Amino acid sequence: MNGAESIVRTLSEGGVEVCFANPGTSEIHLVAALDHVKGIRGVPCLFEGVAVGAADGYARMTAKPACSLLHLGPGFANGLANLHNASRAHVPILNLIGDHATYHRKYDAPLTADIEALARTYCRWLRTSAAAKEAGQDCADAIANTHAAPGSISTLIVPADVAWTDGGQTGKLSTPPATPLPNMASIEGAAALLKNDQQTAILLGDRAAQGDALIAAGRIAAATGAKLFVPFSFSRVERGAGLPAVERIAYVVDQAVSQLHEFRQLILVGAQQPVAFFASPSTPSVVTPPDCNIFTLARSDNNCGAALEALTASLSASRVAFRPVEKGRPGIPGGDITLSGLAAVVGALLPPHAIVVDESITSGRGMMAAARGAAPHDWLVNTGGSIGIGMPLSVGASIACHDRPVLCLSGDGSLMYTLQSLWTAAREGLNITLVVFANRSYSILKGELSRLGQDSGRGALDLLDIDRPDLDFVALAKGMGVPGRRVSTLEEFAAELQSGFDSAAPNLIEVPL
Amino acid sequence: MNGAESIVRTLSEGGVEVCFANPGTSEIHLVAALDHVKGIRGVPCLFEGVAVGAADGYARMTAKPACSLLHLGPGFANGLANLHNASRAHVPILNLIGDHATYHRKYDAPLTADIEALARTYCRWLRTSAAAKEAGQDCADAIANTHAAPGSISTLIVPADVAWTDGGQTGKLSTPPATPLPNMASIEGAAALLKNDQQTAILLGDRAAQGDALIAAGRIAAATGAKLFVPFSFSRVERGAGLPAVERIAYVVDQAVSQLHEFRQLILVGAQQPVAFFASPSTPSVVTPPDCNIFTLARSDNNCGAALEALTASLSASRVAFRPVEKGRPGIPGGDITLSGLAAVVGALLPPHAIVVDESITSGRGMMAAARGAAPHDWLVNTGGSIGIGMPLSVGASIACHDRPVLCLSGDGSLMYTLQSLWTAAREGLNITLVVFANRSYSILKGELSRLGQDSGRGALDLLDIDRPDLDFVALAKGMGVPGRRVSTLEEFAAELQSGFDSAAPNLIEVPL
């Protein structure tokens, strides 16, 4: 067994089931090992940002690490933007990077790069495997460290000669330590705040807006009158009819300030203090009122679910019924395309158990509200602000949950960063309906430019418009093997959306705006 | 004048004429300033790898820096792979990166990243501008440092509040120091080697295979019997009928060894010692014979042209006629598509003054030989091994030399990394003919896999084949606003290639293999 095979066997024994791969020559022994060792599904990607973003989507749905397989420093660099997003989603991911053979590095061949320097930026665990006999254990350590609460990125760099040399041994897997509860003072402190008759908001971060944690939060809200929020940038929220209501903090600073202005207290559960996405000369960085008492019940590396359960118990609210969101869907509107009409169609037709991946930026701002009373579903958004995560997340989520429909809502600008993900969706036959809102611009930036109050001319707009020529997303989808169509009315959108869901296969709908 | 405007005015006064841009909110004041200050051409890109690769292509053709405009850490990260290539091309590039406002960084908003840590990997000069009044001078320093021999990458990080605050001042531009000659001992040493009757090769690196440097090298070869080579990975070679012949060292190790086996002496002129692109268990890392004396005439940060002129003088060869490559083109073959037939068509039809950007990997290995006797032209290839540079280079080269036709030869796998460059080509109306060799696989990797001698199964091939579905490049081009067509015979290829050159507009030819 060579080093590569020891790594792949350790992955398999360590519960890693999927490898999103864009390999090169220095990974060829790992590719061969993935072939020999059964049990790991290799998913080819045409660009590394797809691989890493897909690993993020897979982890958000399973809380388990997938593996990416990337080619030296530049291949890893192509994955960094979505690794930035993944680091903010606090998901487990294991990157495997092939490097030059150890003895070849000194020659500074063209692809030589300081991979460790690049990896240090986003990886909490990082190691270059030194010998074939250690590679398996290195991999086991890498897997264990992805489970560091709340979920962490590990990167194992594998020199080619470590991969091809015999003497590999499967690594010994350690049990990850239990995620710690916050201390009792935090739970008692939060309970005291919730009893003092001040208006209180609770901000639910990583994994606190899902499953039992969400139910516990719902009970606390019902028992105390507190209101539940999620940050603008969240990794995954379970929502829909019958579940506790959570409200998303807005991107637009004035709206966020308005949402939070009545609250004198904010309790953080695995979330950071809410702040503006960007600073601006005319709006504040902090969106909570100046006199708001911000209290941390649980950090993101605490067990947020257990903290909420403990708080529920402390408030004697464990049997309190939470107020469920009522079932209710918008009617299907007709006529010309409007953003509110599009949102209503999505709310009306969203299938049960859908996974919505929302990178619709300016066009989709009404979507969450419209789908509020739909059957229970998951909502995933961009956590780190680096656009181009929507379709990669959708690929990963669909591979994680092959029996659930995925609806990807994307801006046209966002989609163009990682368009290659369409091909992977086609190759793997994934149940993804992609709606692209084609406003032919980086609309959010044009808004910023107009806010400057300056007389902006053609030169500035040339850099923010995505037109002349217009992108033809139906043609782009066809090029990747994905059927697409363009709609020009809300009736057509509704018909094509339903048809997309019914197809249970990758498909694209272009909505010109 | 705010900080942003002081930066853009300094760029303009510093001779920077083009900005390849993929901006976001934190760059919006720089976008506005690019609009107000005339003289800099903003070129929009849909992905940062396109912007950085285009800046590389622009610099290879002009030896001047273009500017990229990128969005915080993740936007910069998306440019890193082509910055890796650019660092190996030793070209001047100035990256402008917007960052959060200084006072906003402490809130760790989603896009917050350690931009400096990322930039340190490939940038010889790096600074975060601290105040609006210093931003102009920071930019002037950044420009000056791009000229550090042989050409260098500078990165200026501009916090949003530095950009928007008033008090900016145009920076004072310094004259870059002259590029030093190597010491006389190097020149005398090389001259002595060239007179000792040993078989000698001369390896021409950065800017040594162009212009007067190439002519001087040709004289030296004619006077001494030495043979001229360029590395497999070179930034730009001038070639064609009437110019001195240079031979490219092969990618395949056995071929490279065979090319160099007769030489007892190798003189490096701005080039590194030739080594294998990758190590392998069965081939050597070093491709020169073990007893070959490797001598450095000039390092890449020396003035290689002046060194060659000095060597010519030392050899009393300044008036020696170099042996020009004879004019001669292949005939246009017909029939079924073969790699040698495709190369012959390119050799037969290549227009005068063409710029060939060659990222054709396995499919285009005969192209340089077939175009050897064509009218003078430039040949540019991937310098750092990170695929996805071909079309970005073509965009930059075409903007630098708008009166010259660009022929981009691309593998299908390579093209998919930065396919978005087609849209920029369409937007800017660039004279680029793109030929994509669609072998539906990472063919170079399948070669490596088969060399392992292992029985590789479907699982491994699934990760190396780009099929099921086949990519339809004609549709992809249409989606980006670029006309494309597919050819099935060599006659069709010849007709479409000529038609592409005649169009003087962006166009794609898909060649299924």
- Per-residue CA distances from A71 to A4, A11, A174, A362, B233 (Å): 15, 18, 28, 35, 18
Interface residue A276 vs chain B (CB under 8 A): yes
Last residue of a domain, one of A314, A349, A380: A314
Query: Minimal Cα–Cα distance from A375 to chain B, Å?
Result: 30
Strands (E), A360-443: 377-381, 406-411, 432-438
CATH number, domain with residue B280? 3.40.50.1220
Residue tagged 């086991």 (tokens): A140
A202 in helix, strand or coil?
strand
Q: What is the pLDDT of residues A107-143, one digit of tens each?
A: 999 999 999 999 999 999 999 999 999 999 999 999 9
The pLDDT, as a whole number, for residue A266 is 98
Assess if residue B320 is contained within a domain.
no
CA dihedral (B14, B94, B171, B28) in degrees, to 10, reads: 110
Same domain, A382 and A458: yes
Cβ pair B160:A21 closer than 8 A: no
Same domain, A69 and A151: yes
Average pLDDT of the residues in B146-162: 96
The pLDDT, as a whole number, for residue A275 is 98
Residue B451: pLDDT band by 50, 70, 90 thresholds? Answer: confident
The pLDDT, as a whole number, for residue A206 is 84
CATH number, domain with residue B135? 3.40.50.970
Assess if residue B288 is contained within a domain.
yes
Last residue of a domain, one of A133, A164, A195: A164
If one counts every other C-beta atom within 10 angstroms of the C-beta of residue B57, the result is: 34
The pLDDT, as a whole number, for residue A460 is 86
Query: Minimal Cα–Cα distance from A82 to chain B, Å?
Result: 8
The amino acid at residue B77 is A
Same domain, A345 and A465: yes
pTM of this prediction exceeds 0.95: yes
Interface residue A379 vs chain B (CB under 8 A): no
The amino acid at residue B298 is A
Last residue of a domain, one of B254, B281, B314: B314
Token pair for B313: 């003088």
Q: What is the pLDDT of residues A185-194, one digit of tens each?
A: 999 999 999 9
Q: What is the pLDDT of residues B71-116, one digit of tens each?
A: 999 999 999 999 999 999 999 999 999 999 999 999 999 999 999 9
Identify which of B379, B122, B95 has the alpha carbon closest to the alpha carbon of residue B230: B379
Interface residue B90 vs chain A (CB under 8 A): no
The pLDDT, as a whole number, for residue A454 is 61
Q: What is the pLDDT of residues B155-170, one digit of tens each?
A: 999 999 999 999 999 9
Assess if residue A333 is contained within a domain.
no
DSSP letters, B121-171, are TT-SEEEE---HHHHHHHHHHHHHHHTSTT--EEEEEEEHHHHHSB---PP
| Phi/psi at B359 (5° precision) | -125, 45
Nearest CA in chain B to A388: B47
Same domain, B27 and B65: yes
Question: Is pLDDT at B455 greater than 80 in this prediction?
Answer: no
Number of H-type helices and E-type strands within chain A: 20, 18
A377 in helix, strand or coil?
strand
Q: DSSP state, A68? A: E
Cβ pair A471:B479 closer than 8 A: yes
Same domain, B347 and B416: yes
Assess if residue B438 is contained within a domain.
yes
The pLDDT, as a whole number, for residue B308 is 98
H-helix segments, A90-165: 115-120, 132-146, 160-164
Assess if residue B459 is contained within a domain.
yes
The mean pLDDT value of chain A amounts to 96
Same domain, B481 and B385: yes
Identify which of B476, B474, B472 has the alpha carbon closest to the alpha carbon of residue B496: B474
Average pLDDT of the residues in B163-188: 94
Are the beta carbons of B40 and B19 closer than 8 angstroms? yes
Are the beta carbons of A57 and A392 closer than 8 angstroms? yes
Strands (E), A182-330: 200-204, 227-230, 237-239, 247-248, 265-269, 293-298
Question: Is pLDDT at A261 greater than 70 in this prediction?
Answer: yes
The pLDDT, as a whole number, for residue B60 is 98
Assess if residue A330 is contained within a domain.
no
Please tell me the distance from the alpha carbon of residue A138 to that of residue A148, in angstroms, as a whole number. Answer: 16
Please tell me the distance from the alpha carbon of residue B122 to that of residue B115, in angstroms, as a whole number. Answer: 12
Orientation of helix A48-62 relative to helix A390-400, angle to 10°: 50
Question: Is pLDDT at B206 greater than 90 in this prediction?
Answer: no
Token pair for B162: 């530095």
Orientation of helix B28-36 relative to helix B3-13, angle to 10°: 50
Domain count, chain A: 3
Cβ neighbours of A77 in B, within 8 Å:
77, 80-81, 84, 386
Residue B454: pLDDT band by 50, 70, 90 thresholds? Answer: low
Interface residue B42 vs chain A (CB under 8 A): yes
Q: State the complex-level ipTM.
A: 0.97
The pLDDT, as a whole number, for residue A301 is 94
Same domain, A366 and A445: yes
| Phi/psi at A348 (5° precision) | -75, -35
Identify which of A90, A318, A369 has the alpha carbon closest to the alpha carbon of residue A215: A318
Same domain, B479 and B344: yes
Q: What is the pLDDT of residues A7-48, one digit of tens each?
A: 999 999 999 999 999 999 999 999 999 999 989 999 999 999
Assess if residue A228 is contained within a domain.
yes
Lowest mean pLDDT among A14-28, A199-213, A339-353, B170-184: B170-184
Q: What is the pLDDT of residues B19-71, one digit of tens each?
A: 999 999 999 999 999 999 989 999 999 999 999 999 999 999 999 999 999 99
Same domain, B348 and B485: yes
Task: Name A157's Cβ contacts closer than 8 Å, sequence gap at least 6.
Answer: A97, A98, A99, A115, A116, A119, A126, A127, A128, A129
Chain A neighbours among B 141-200 (CB < 8 Å)? 160-161, 164
Same domain, B347 and B389: yes
The mean pLDDT value of chain B amounts to 96
Range of the domain at B152: 3-164
3-state helix, strand, coil in chain B (%, to 5): 40, 20, 40
Same domain, B454 and B380: yes
Residue A455: pLDDT band by 50, 70, 90 thresholds? Answer: low
Assess if residue A29 is contained within a domain.
yes
Q: What is the pLDDT of residues B376-400, one digit of tens each?
A: 999 999 999 999 999 999 999 999 9
Question: Is pLDDT at B449 greater than 90 in this prediction?
Answer: no
Same domain, A249 and A359: no
Which of the residues A18, A72, A80, A456 would you substitute to probe the B interface, choosing the one with the greatest number of B C-beta atoms within 10 Å?
A: A80
A174 in helix, strand or coil?
coil
